[in-house]
Amino acid sequence: MSYQIKLDMFEGPLDLLLHLIRERQLDILDIPIATITEEYLRYLAMMQELDLEVAGEFLVMAATLIHIKSKMLLPPEELAAGEEGEPEEDPRAELVDRLLEYQRFKEAAQTLGHLESEQLLLYRRGAPAIDLEVEGPLAVSLFELLRAFREVLRRAEAPAQLEITPEELNVGQRIVTLLDRLAQESPLEFAQLFAGSRRRAEVIVTFLALLELLRRRLASARQAEPMGPIMIYRTVERVGPSGPEAAGSGQPGPPAPHQTGTTEE
Amino acid sequence: MGETLDRQAVIEAVLFVAEEPVPLAKLQEILGDEEPAATEASVRALALDLEGPTRGLMVQEVAGGFRLATRGEAAPWIQKLQQVKPAKLSRAALETLAIIAYKQPITRAEIEAIRGVAVDGVMRTLLERGLVRMLGRKAEAGRPILYGTTGEFLEHFGFKDLGDLPTLREIDELIGAQKPAGSPPPAERPADASGTDPEAPPADASPEPGPPSATV
């Protein structure tokens, strides 16, 4: 029995492409399609290796990339055949348009997120105090996690074949172990989670356990800057000073309210 | 007693009890004002009074009405009372919501075409939370359901109306600046979005950029 992590709340293929473009600092309007295809397929293979539930859309995008790549290899005359005078269309144009449009809404979503944070600080009657329906807190994207994970894997002992043996390594147990560790120390740097795991299979089980913790909102992953170190926080029901916005002094709670001088009755 | 109570005090009391934003017309009716301007003047006066340093509440104009809310600065103390921070929407939910807000009325297939990924789970969450609703059905094969945002959406993000939505124009300009002049127009879309005009404004409300507005 393999342990499958549901990814439906995570990102889609366009997110992965934008992630790769950012990671490699590529020009979105002039994407080196061979490089990006190779990288994309590498992430896809990693997700499949981990037995993450890879949505069909990821495979469709892979096919699209390969198709574009093959079109790019054709000499331009053949592309332009039949349309004289017309400038040849870049085979990437449609994909670029999709990426740009998606990026627009991603940024609009970010703006909405900021507004939401502001509004959530304004309490009012009739508003639910908590809503457990909301999905997991993943301030860093899945692909950032995968990137960091790849680094850890690289350092782990590398056998010829990747094999998960669920008999001795159990994701459920690892979840409990991780929670215990986070209870003792939070936040933990991503790489620290894997300290002591030398075997590849162990590293993988730990990573799957982490994904499950994030999905169940028992932990959250945050990052101060893009490509920076990823910190794993234990999610606590009680509000403590551990939140990112309370990252000042270790003093729990708000500063003392100051007295206003008005003493008129 | 209502006759002797100050008008502002009446508004304050009404807004305190109301669990939803109270439209100006409703306040006018309660106060028995001839003109909405008179009611509005009193609401603004109350809002101004509440801006004093000894007050923890404020009047917020949102979702076509007025409501009382605690000031943002008070949040850390309220969290001491409640011990729980309100949860935020997931990134996937925010993205889907952004697409719906700017493109409504929109079908699920059109949302998925933009996000590049299925949105079933996210849509269920948004519908359950009342942030999104069905507007009707699109006149095309299969008569797919059209979705749009709700009043709850406006409340959640503190918008007066859809005109309050931050404009996509800045983002467009940002991207447009990078785009070479000769690039193909985005109208050249695959046929899956055929018959739709994604740029068409929503029928009942326009998300065109309006003047930004905050609290009263």
Q: What is the structure's pLDDT at A10? A: 56
Q: Residue A127: its pLDDT value, please?
A: 59
Q: What is the mean pLDDT of chain B?
A: 78
Q: Which two tokens stand for residue A156?
A: 């782990």
Q: Do B94 and A94 touch (CB under 8 A)?
A: no
Q: How many residue pairs from chains A and B have C-beta atoms closer than 8 A?
A: 185
Please name the residues in contact with A138: beta carbons below 8 A apart, sequence gap of 6 or more: A10, A214, A220, A221, B90, B91
* pLDDT reported for residue B153: 93
**What angle do helix axes A13-23 and A56-73 make, rounded to 10 degrees?**
60
**Region B202-208 average pLDDT:** 40
% of chain B exceeding 90 in pLDDT: 46
Output the tens digit of pLDDT for each of chain A's 265 residues.
345 555 544 578 898 899 889 888 888 888 899 999 999 999 888 888 887 777 788 888 999 999 998 888 877 665 555 555 556 678 888 999 999 999 999 889 988 988 998 888 888 876 555 443 344 445 677 788 888 888 888 877 655 455 555 456 788 888 888 888 888 888 888 888 888 777 788 888 888 888 888 877 788 888 777 677 888 888 764 434 443 343 333 344 556 666 654 444 3
CB contact under 8 A, A123 and B158: no
A115 to B83: CB separation less than 8 angstroms, yes or no: no
CB-CB neighbours of A47 under 10 Å: 21
Contact A111 B125 (CB under 8 A): no
What φ, ψ does residue B77 adopt, rounded to 5°? -75, -35
pLDDT at B110: 94
Distance from C-alpha of B104 to C-alpha of B204, rounded to nearest angstrom? 9
Q: Is the pLDDT of residue B148 over 90?
A: yes
Q: Which residues of A touch B67 (CB under 8 A)?
A: 124
List, in order of start, the domains of chain B with CATH numbers.
7-82 (1.10.10.10), 91-193 (1.10.10.10)
Residue B52 in this model has a pLDDT that exceeds 70 = yes
Distance CA B8, CA B55 (A): 15
Six-digit token pair at B40?
């509005």
Chain B residue numbers touching A87 (CB-CB < 8 A)? 182
Q: With beta carbons under 8 A apart, name residues in chain B contacting A237.
A: 83-84
**Over 90: is that where the pLDDT of B168 sits?**
no
The stretch B170-190 carries a mean pLDDT of 44
Q: Do B125 and A55 touch (CB under 8 A)?
A: no
Quote the pLDDT of residue B212. 38
Cβ atoms of B99 and A105 closer than 8 Å: yes
Q: What is the pLDDT of residues B79-135, one digit of tens each?
A: 788 766 667 788 888 999 999 999 989 999 999 999 988 888 889 889 988 899 999
| Per-residue tokens: B142 | 């299969």
Residue B189 has pLDDT above 50, yes or no: no
pLDDT at residue B1, rounded to an integer: 47
Q: A234: part of which helix (H) or strand (E)?
A: strand A230-234
